[in-house]
Amino acid sequence: MKEESTDVVVKDEIHNLIEVFSKKSYKVTGDTKVDPVAEKCLKLFSKDYHFSVINNTVGSLCAHYPSKIVILEYERACPYHERVESLYDGHHIKELFKQARFARCRSRFVVPVILLDGKYVCRSATLASGAEMYGRSGLDFLTGNEHNPSKIRKTSSDSDLQMFDRVRGQDINILKTFSVKYIVDLMVEKKKVKFGMNVTSSEKVDKENRYGEFCIISAPYPGCEFFKEWRDNGYMGEDMKFDWSQSFVDACLDIPPTELLQELSIDWQQYKHWDLIQLTKNYLKMLVHMFTNGDKGILVHCISGWDRTPMFVSLLRLTLWADGLIHKSLSATEILYLTLAYDWYLFGHSLSDRLMRGEEILLFCFYFLPHIATDEFSVQSLRSTKRQKSSVGQDIAANGFLRTTGDTYSKEVRKHLSSVGSGGSSSGSARISVERKRNSSSSSLSSNGSFTIEPCSRYFLQYENDEDVIDEQSDVSAQTSSNCTLLQTTPCQRSSSPMMVPENRGRQSSLSDSPTCGRLLAGDIRVRESAVDRVGL
């Protein structure tokens, strides 16, 4: 008899989320109604973690951060949680956020978003310039959000140096609170300049070396504008290289020669010669290695922290989930909802604006997943654990899911990040195909579950058959085709190739009842010129 599904998320909710997401950006309002997306994320977090929630009602901390900011503390399933837990005074944390928010661009302060073995992956925007610090603090005072006017008056008489020391000092306090050691700066600039004026700064050019105790990694990565070129290039990242000679690009790749980073066998001096795929793969490999093998946490940021930052946070979350290291009880559909909702939507990614401009960085994030389905992105592999490989075709067996005999976790993962459930026989070898349709009038999905990309502006999913601080312990529960070219290439050529994945990369719960995940992650995210359409089963 088939077990009843305990999934918090159903398929239609993924579609509904993207439908809303593609029309307008998320902003915190004063509406007292329950935020259904935020509440759903809390339920998903509660399946695996104890956490506290910092209320950001009416955007009192940041207008484009979640209304409920989650501070993960420890895993529910950990029998020795006292060894890894980080139980914080929520009111103190909120006060830290409040005092430090002016240190970062658009008040997007440092927030922990992923927890593993007591270490955090944090996200934020880059450092704010002095002009923005003064401007935002003054505006906050005028609008009544600042309850300590004497501090603001003092600021006006302080020297710039004292003001920077105080505000950035609070930012450093947050980094120390969450035990951050590594700061990964994705900006291609040392400082963002507009109209001849510095509008942001960054840790790597702080004149007083306030961030000298941290390991700062300058890892320049193309901004969202580059992904319009990716779209115009037929959604092909191979052999597509960023122009590092542009006048505004003044940040160079800088990897400190630490023992941890030297363990990676990557020739960093060649970074300007890497195409988009290779650049992304090497940066992600570095992030995974630092986080899983390092002794402390990492901060990832770009300029505003809502394009490149969520992409790498999302890829990190998915690859760690794929190894069974985080969110161990979440199904593939649930982890997809969580990363779309929390990492992208609730943290302010403007999908509607990006689609209008053709800057499809979110689509690239999911397009890129087949490239990390290989053994080299397995944490166990990075730790030099011997692993056995199997083809994607073997993974898509019996309803598209495979449980490895003797494994603690079911093997549902990498194939979901790189393939689609086909419903074919277990002996058949399913291959990922990439259809490139131009001027296509057909929106039908081929029966082999191919990954279809069409130019371009809306996502289309099709499915197959007060308390300022809330301490969450057990209250939040989990109740609740014309001109088409079909490409099938060899593994060494294109992303449409069959991906090799390790036999034991897996998850805890079996998803044999839900063959939608692969389609949602890779197979059925389409780009169309029409608005989002609703399609049933």
CA 340 to CA 327: how far, in whole Å?
15
For tokens 């063959």, the residue is 515
The 8-class DSSP code of residue 351 comes to H
Give one word for 179, left, alpha or beta, with left for phi > 0 and alpha for psi -120 to 50: left
| CA distances (Å), origin 195, targets 127, 198, 340, 467, 511 | 19, 8, 34, 43, 53
Among candidate residues 108, 93, 156, 99, the one with its CA nearest the CA of residue 130: 156
Strands (E), 162-274: 180-185, 193-194, 197-198, 215-218
For tokens 């973690």, the residue is 49
What SS3 class is residue 75? strand
Which residues are paired to 50 by β-bridges?
A: 74
CA 512 to CA 322: how far, in whole Å?
16
Is residue 207 within a helix (H) or strand (E), and if so which, with residue range?
A: none
Within 8 A by CB and 6+ apart from 144, the residues are none
CA 223 to CA 200: how far, in whole Å?
15
| CA distances (Å), origin 385, targets 18, 380, 392, 419 | 38, 5, 21, 24
Q: What are phi and psi of 60, to 5 degrees?
A: -60, -25
Task: Please report the sign of the dihedral spanned by the C-alpha atoms of residue 56, residue 60, residue 65, residue 70.
Answer: negative
Catalytic amino acids?
302
Q: Are the C-beta atoms of residues 253 and 220 closer than 8 Å to each other?
A: yes
What SS3 class is residue 520? helix
CA 354 to CA 357: how far, in whole Å?
5
Burial group, residue 30, by CB count within 10 angstroms (0-12, 13-18, 19+): exposed
Q: How many CB atoms lie within 10 A of CB 364?
A: 20
Rg of the chain's alpha carbons, rounded to an integer? 23
Cα angle vertex 287, ends 316, 122, to 5°?
Answer: 65
Burial 438-473 (b: 16+ CB within 10 A, else e): eebeebebeebbbbbbbbbbbbbbbbbeeeebbebe
